[in-house]
Structure formats: structure tokens, C-alpha cells
Amino acid sequence: MTEQEPSPHAPPLRRFRDPAYVPLADNLAQVRERIDALDTQIVALLAERGRYVKDAARFKRDAFQVSAPQRQQEVIDKVKRLAEQTGAYPEVVEACYRALIAGFIAREQLHHQDMIDIDEGQP
Ligand SMILES: C=C(O[C@@H]1C=C(C(=O)O)C=C[C@H]1O)C(=O)O
């Protein structure tokens, strides 16, 4: 085992046994450029998702409703199905979503604590 980081511009060191495998890039630098571009999109999407999670707090009465465990399970089930359909690694998708939802709920709880009830009696 070397303690050296891989060389970004070097040619491939290994190949897949599957002769049908189609490479996506010429070198590691190219692979990383594409990963970086995807991360930019993913973080922008997470920001948008977070704005909707914040808005959801307006429709909830208490901490249990913020947590909404049944909805959490629906989201996990749905993304696992999507992973199967799209070829994403299902265990990665599930782990990401469990972490994401936990983080989003924590934020939503903070927003919820910072809100006031709408008084139904008001004209
Ligand atoms: C956004 C909601 O609130 C919470 C956050 C969820 C999420 O991040 O997907 C799902 C359920 C709730 O725990 C919701 O109830 O839809």
C-alpha cells in the first residue's frame, strides 16, 4: 500500500475485466472535474430542498408533526426505488437520505420553535 495520492494526469493503472465497460474520462483530473461539477449541482439542489423543508414548518403544529415519521419512511422508500431504477448505489442513496433527512428535520425544528401560531379567531 502506497501513502501517495494518485497522480491526476497519469494514464490508467488498472482496467475492468468486463470488455463492454466504456470509460468516462481519460484521466483522474477529468473524473474529478465532473465530480466537482455534479457536487455544485447537488449542493444547489440541497439548498432548494432546504427552502422547501423550511416552508413545510408553516403547516405543522408541534415537534412530532415536524418529524413526520411516516413521511420520512415514504421518502426513504421512494429514493431506494429510484436508486434501483437509475443504477445509483442503493446503500449510498439510503445512507445519504437518512443523514439528509435527520439534518433537515433538525433545521425544521429550529424554524418551528421560532414561529408563532396563526390565531384562527383573528378577523
Ligand atoms: C419536509 C417535511 O418535514 C420533514 C422533513 C422531511 C424531508 O426532509 O424529506 C420529511 C419529513 C419530515 O420529517 C415534510 O413533512 O414533508
Residues with CB under 6 A from ligand 1: 53, 56, 67-68, 71-72, 75, 101, 104-105, 108
User: ipTM of this predicted complex?
Assistant: 0.98
Q: What is the pLDDT of residue 123?
A: 66
Query: How far away, in angstroms, is 98 Cα from ligand 1 center?
Result: 11
Query: How far away, in angstroms, is 102 Cα from ligand 1 center?
Result: 9
Rounded CA-CA distance 42/105 in Å is 19
Class of residue 66 by CB neighbours under 10 A (exposed 0-12, middle 13-18, buried 19+): buried
Q: What is the pLDDT of residue 14?
A: 98
Successive 10-residue mean pLDDT values, the chain, 123 residues: 92 98 98 98 98 98 98 98 98 98 98 93 68
> What DSSP letter does each residue of 92-107 carry, written as one string?
HHHHHHHHHHHHHHHH
Closest C-alpha residue for ligand 1 atom 11: 72
In CATH, which of 3.40.50.11540, 1.20.59.10, 1.10.12.10, 1.10.260.40 is domain 28-113? Answer: 1.20.59.10
| Global pTM value | 0.93
Tell how many helices (H) and how many strands (E) occur in the chain: 4, 0
Could you state, in order of their start, the residue ranges of all structural domains in the chain? 28-113
> What DSSP letter does each residue of 30-49 carry, written as one string?
HHHHHHHHHHHHHHHHHHHH
